[in-house]
Amino acid sequence: MKQIDFTTSFTVFENASELPPDMQSLMQKAVEIRKKAYAPYSQFRVGAALWLDNGQIVLGSNQENAAYPSGLCAERVAVFQAGAVYPEAKILKMAISAASDNNPTTAPIPPCGACRQSIAEYEFKQDSPIEIYFMGETGAVYQSDSLKNLLPFMFDKNFL
């Protein structure tokens, strides 16, 4: 028997104003689209903004549905939109902001498991990492150089 240890590394910014200017702008877009989320059931709103290598910005917000789990998270809305509209573009950076209508969200809120797997698919497809920045409504922003920090045992087509 042996043990395998993994170490992940994140950069922590005390708040969004400490981000580099280009990331401040991308995070602000995530915040703005978060406010347009359709979240009548959870009252939990998430916005995602992607920066593509062709210079385009793609946005997504969570879209809920009474026939749960038919809705989609903001990250998947944005990633799938980028894949549909700009299939040859690479996703360079992703900014995510989440907020509850009922409780303050001051801790960084990462993508859920389904979103992590979807982002992993695009990292694999484009053969390059996606920088991910995530935060709550306010407070610290965590930055990961790759989805692999959030999902070290990635499932991809090599297992099929």
**103, part of any domain:** yes
**1, part of any domain:** no
What is the span of the domain harbouring residue 50? 11-152
Task: List C-alpha distances in Å: 115 to 3, 79, 99, 101.
Answer: 28, 9, 17, 22
Is it the case that residue 159 has pLDDT exceeding 90? Answer: no
Q: pLDDT tens-digit profile of 82-112? A: 999 999 999 999 999 999 999 999 999 999 9
pTM for this entry: 0.95
- Structurally, how many domains does the chain consist of? 1
Would you please indicate which residues are annotated as catalytic (active-site) residues? 75
Q: pLDDT tens-digit profile of 44-62? A: 999 999 999 999 999 999 9
115 is in an annotated binding site: yes
Nearest residue to 138 (alpha-carbon basis) of 100, 102, 111 = 100
More confident site: 76 or 68: 76
Backbone φ and ψ for 53, nearest 5 degrees, come out as: -70, -10
Do 82 and 50 contact (CB within 8 A), yes or no? yes
Q: Taking the alpha carbons of 5, 10, 14, 16 in that order, is the dihedral positive or negative?
A: negative
**19, part of any domain:** yes
Which CATH number is 73's domain given? 3.40.140.10
Is it the case that residue 41 has pLDDT exceeding 90? Answer: yes
121 is in an annotated binding site: no
**125, part of any domain:** yes
**127, part of any domain:** yes
95 is in an annotated binding site: no
Backbone φ and ψ for 72, nearest 5 degrees, come out as: -135, 145
